[in-house]
Amino acid sequence: MQAESSPILEARNISLQFGGVRALTEVTFQVEQGELFSIIGPNGAGKTSMLNCISGRYSPTAGQVLFKGRDVTKLSPNERATLGIGRTFQNLALFGHMSVLDNIMVGRHHLMKNNFLTGSLYWLGGAQKEELEHRRYIEDIIDFLEISHIRKAVAGTLSYGLRKRVELARAVAVHPDLILLDEPMAGMNLEEKEDMARYIVDLNEEWGMTVVMIEHDMGVVMDISHRVMVLDFGRLIASGAPREVMDNEHVKRAYLGVEDEPAEAERQGA
């Protein structure tokens, strides 16, 4: 992790409102280049809403999102992907009728430079060379995530854990500098979680990707995160090193359900 580098991501006073419901209220934070940064909090705390504001799926009611110092608040998800932001979703968003390989190739679509005319001249217009380059990168991802044996399988027929791995592959295919992971280990057994945690750490350390991750498994968060941010009812209540955050009294009350000792003693008649 490069602690002294300029932030790759900044959220400045982000607020998000749906009618009378406030999903986020003036949330400000930054993520440094090379960090593995986790967002935690109770259900309904605004974690996925924040990822949606970063990726462009939602437009914040107020505030700014900056990526590499550039204001991307009004850019579409496709434009942000082109700049180097990839993401996975809490609920699987694969094309179930397509093969694993084709699903992953979808992640490269925005990087293809040949248009309809040059693409039609497959052998002369450079389309063949471009496709081979994309295929080589896809093969590296398939090998890295150990899914070569299912490359031709129809995505919708795979087990849940393998589909989560394929979705990660598609996000990596974007070739992002920043990858947003929304509960990448949800619904997995222990072995699958250990594999996914290893992939995420390797993407961060070996592939050089900055990671922003939502995750409920506190063991994983404590083990692999450089820093952690806690949201509660759409507000930021703590941020810092994992152990520091988990020792925070506000976090214990909001996230772990631990009450103030005086209040608990009073209730018990002490």
- Is residue 33 located within the same domain as residue 56? yes
Q: What are phi and psi of 240, to 5 degrees?
A: 160, -160
Compute the CA torsion angle 111, 113, 116, 122 (nearest 10 deg): -110
Residue from 235, 241, 226 nearest 255 by CA: 235
Looking at residues 15-27, what average pLDDT do you find?
95
- pLDDT attached to residue 117: 44
- Domain with 249 in it: 1-84+177-270
199 inside domain: yes
DSSP 3-state of 40: strand
How would you label 39-66 residue by residue, b for 16+ Cβ within 10 Å and e otherwise? bbbbeebbbbbbbbbbbbebebeebebb
| Same domain for 197 and 264 | yes
Shared domain check, 202 and 78: yes
Q: Is 69 exposed, middle or buried (0-12, 13-18, 19+ CB in 10 A)?
A: exposed
The CATH number of the domain where 264 resides is what?
3.40.50.300
* Distance between first and last Cα of the chain: 48
In a domain, 89, yes or no: no
- The answer on 187 and 159 residing in a single domain is no
pLDDT at residue 113, rounded to an integer? 53
- The residue among 97 and 111 whose pLDDT is bigger is 97
Distance in angstroms (rounded) separating the CA atoms of residues 270 and 264: 9
**Closest by alpha carbon to 54, among 199, 202, 210?**
210
pLDDT-derived band at 9, boundaries 50, 70, 90: very high
Q: What is the dihedral of CA 211, 215, 218, 222, to 10 degrees?
A: 0
Tell me: do 162 and 184 sit in the same domain. no
* Contacts of 195 by beta carbon, 8 Å cutoff, 6+ apart: 146, 165
User: What is d(CA 217, CA 186) in angstroms, rounded to the nearest whole number?
Assistant: 8
The candidate with the shortest Cα–Cα distance to 187, out of 178, 196, 179, is: 196
Residue 69 pLDDT more than 80? Answer: yes
Kindly state the tokens that stand for 16. 């998000």
Give me the number of domains the chain comprises. Answer: 2
Please check the confidence at residue 255 and state whether its pLDDT lies above 50: yes
Kindly indicate the confidence band of residue 137, based on its pLDDT and cuts at 50, 70 and 90.
confident
The whole model's pTM is what? 0.84
Domain edge (last residue) among 145, 175, 205: 175
CA distance 41 to 44: 8
Give yes or no for residue 91 having a pLDDT over 80.
no
Q: Does residue 147 sit in helix, strand or coil?
A: coil
Query: Which amino acid, one-letter code, is at 222?
Result: M
Cα–Cα distance for residue pair 67/102, rounded to 1 Å: 29
If asked whether residues 31 and 9 sit together in one domain, one would say yes
| Residue 111: predicted pLDDT | 53
- Which of 62-76, 99-113, 150-164: highest mean pLDDT? 62-76
